[in-house]
Amino acid sequence: MTTALRVEDLEAGYEPGLPIVRSASLAVAAGEIVAILGPNGAGKSTLIKAIAGLVPITAGRALLGDEDITAVPAHLMVRKGLGFVPQTENVFAGLSVEDNLDLAASLMRVPKRTRIAETFALFPDLARQRRLPAGALSGGQRQMLAVARALITGPRVLMLDEPSAGLSPKLVGQVFEKLQEIRRGGVTIVLVEQNARAALSIADRAAILVEGRERLVGPAAALAGDPQVAALYLGHGGRGAA
Q: Which DSSP string do the residues of 71-133 spell out, in sequence order?
A: T--GGGHHHHTEEEE-SSS-S-TTSBHHHHHHHHHTTSSS-HHHHHHHHHHH-HHHHHTTTSB
Count the domains in the chain. Answer: 1
Chain segment 107-119, per-residue pLDDT in tens? 877 778 888 999 9
pTM: 0.91
CA distance linking residue 144 with residue 140, whole number of Å: 6
Confirm whether 142 is domain-assigned: no
Query: 240 by DSSP, 3-state: which?
Result: coil
Residue at 108 is within a domain: no
Residue 61 maps to a domain: yes
Strands 3-12 and 57-64: antiparallel
pLDDT < 70 stretches in the chain: 233-242
CATH of the domain at 50: 3.40.50.300
Question: What's the pLDDT at 235?
Answer: 60
Packing angle of the helix pair 97-105, 112-122 (nearest 10 deg): 130
Query: By the 8 A CB rule, do 56 and 12 touch?
Result: yes
Q: Is residue 157 part of a domain?
A: no
Determine the Cα–Cα distance for residues 191 and 206; give it in Å rounded to an integer.
Answer: 9
pLDDT of 128 reads 95
- Which 3 state secondary structure label does DSSP give 59? strand
Question: Which of 27, 99, 84, 98 lies closest to 50 in space, CA to CA?
Answer: 84
End-to-end CA distance of the chain: 29
Separation of alpha carbons 20 and 6, rounded Å: 18
Q: Is 23 left (phi over 0), alpha (psi -120 to 50) or beta?
A: left
Which residues have a Cβ under 8 Å from the Cβ of 193 and sit 6 or more positions away?
A: 35, 36, 37, 162, 163, 164, 199, 242
222 domain-assigned: yes
Range of the domain at 1: 1-75+186-242
- 154 found inside a domain: no
Is residue 180 in a domain?
A: no
Look at strands 21-29 and 3-12 and give their pairing.
antiparallel
- Assigned domain for 127 exists: no
Determine contact, residues 28/217, Cβ cutoff 8 Å: no
